[in-house]
Amino acid sequence: MIKIPKKRSSSYKVYYKNFLRYLERIFPLRIVFFTLLLFSLYFLVPLVLAFNYRTVPALVLAIFYTVNSMLVIYLFKANSIVLSRLGAQNESLQEAINVLIDQNAKEEQSALAIREKIGRYNTLKNIIEDLNENLSLDYVANNLANITFSLLGRNKGCCLLYLMDTKNQKLTLFKTKKEDSGLVIKAKEGDIFDYWVLRHTSPLYIEDIKKDFRFDLEKLKNQDLRPLSSLIAVPFISENQFLGILRLDNSQPHSYSQDDLRFLLTISDIGAFAIENGQLYAKTQSLAIHDALTSLYTKAYLLERLKEECKRSVRQNRAFSFLMLDIDYFKNYNDEFGHTAGDMVLKGLAQELIDYFFKHNAIIGRFGGEEFCVILPETEKKKALNYAEEFRAKVQQKKVLLRRQETSITVSIGIAEFPIDAVDEMELILKVDRAMYEAKRKGRNRVVVSR
């Protein structure tokens, strides 16, 4: 079998094509063409005619070349002037273009800032609508913290909302929003920056804590604060009353601008009224479910909680105990010492109930007159009996001073357990009431368990 050799492409053709492409890049064809044409017309053709055919005298050629040379020089000079003028115009146009580019960039930044402000103020509108729909203090604080952290903090760093404790005159950390969910805020009552805002009742803006002369860096290091570099904080003030502080901070310097601070001030103005309304609403709710004299739960609220506890007990299959107690011979205190003294006895007993049963997660209420009730969640009768006996003895031992006379009071207590003694809350009340009156019939100052 004869093998036919394959045709090899000529390497010379490849080199030739590459060489032509290289020349094309260095000398474009049209420039080469016009150069050869001018060289032929102004140099080769006249010389050939002059020396071969003797048709053109040498003097004429000299004049011809001289005139053409002068013409070329003139055209070259004119062209240079035009090129120089065009270059100057080009530079001016380029400068104008650069100015326009800078102006356009500034306009875009301004437009972006305006759009951002419009977006922020549209969000403010939504904030106002949301705050008007819900007066709950917890909801108001949570909404303000969320909006501030996302809109101004850009979900970076921390947002802290402190409320003022009017009794202790201290700040209390109420809501937090953090970039790092594992970060622990140690300053539960505020740090030096928060108390600066409290002391001056004015906004605080820090671009870089290391360069802020108002705060001693050495003291900051000694206080073991979390890493902070920039911060903005504003007070909640309503009718000259300091309500709290809203603050953003970040570990990076220059994280906030003056515009951010101004917008935060707007949020604080809105938030101050919302927080004040929330606090008033909370007080109103508290007054609605608390007895005015003893500050214990009212009978209506206690019955609601008792009904809820019965449902929960059935659902979770866990028993609870219910106590009803009555002050023995309470009418005698009113008759002997007056109704004011009787009110003092009621308030004193209510405080004793709170002090003793608070540690047992009890729900305590005034059932009416001198009768009080205690719900002990997840507590059986046997344990409830021990609590009741201990409390009865404590009340008996406590001395009460009425109109400069030292006296004491005693209580009769009835106990029932759900669901052993009753199937619903009404039957439970009936059973515990019977147990309490049985304690009175047996001589008072004793505890009786429903059977």
Quick one: angle between helices 339-357 and 381-397, nearest 10? 140
Percent of all residues in the chain with a pLDDT value above 70, rounded to a whole number: 78
Residues 94 and 161: their CA atoms lie apart, in Å, by 53
Over residues 94-115, the pLDDT tens digits come to 888 888 888 888 888 877 777 7
User: At residue 431, does pLDDT exceed 80?
Assistant: yes
Residue 205: per-residue pLDDT:
95
Residue 33: per-residue pLDDT:
67
Nearest alpha-carbon partner for 302 in 289, 315, 292, 312: 289
User: At residue 55, does pLDDT exceed 70?
Assistant: no
Average pLDDT, the chain: 83
Mean pLDDT (whole number) for 363-369? 93
Residue 419: cis peptide before it, omega within 30 degrees of 0: yes
> What domains can be seen in the chain, in order of their start residue?
132-288 (3.30.450.40), 299-449 (3.30.70.270)
Over residues 166-218, the pLDDT tens digits come to 878 889 999 999 988 888 888 888 888 998 999 999 999 999 988 888 887 77
Assign 310 a pLDDT band (cuts: 50, 70, 90): very high
Assign 397 a pLDDT band (cuts: 50, 70, 90): very high
Q: Point out the least confidently predicted range of 93-97, 112-116, 129-133, 262-266.
A: 129-133
User: At residue 379, does pLDDT exceed 50?
Assistant: yes
Residues 451 and 437: their CA atoms lie apart, in Å, by 14
User: At residue 438, does pLDDT exceed 50?
Assistant: yes
Residue 4: per-residue pLDDT:
44
Q: Does residue 82 or residue 446 have the better pLDDT?
A: 446
Greatest C-alpha distance within the chain: 163
Nearest alpha-carbon partner for 153 in 256, 25, 222: 256
Please say whether the dihedral angle defined by the alpha carbons of residues 232, 238, 174 and 138, taken in this order, is positive or negative: negative
Residue 387 tokens read as 């609590």
Residue 224 tokens read as 């073991």
Mean pLDDT (whole number) for 406-410? 88
Radius of gyration from C-alpha coordinates of the chain: 47
User: At residue 280, does pLDDT exceed 70?
Assistant: yes
Mean pLDDT (whole number) for 220-238? 82
Mean pLDDT (whole number) for 412-428? 94
Nearest alpha-carbon partner for 396 in 350, 328, 339, 331: 328
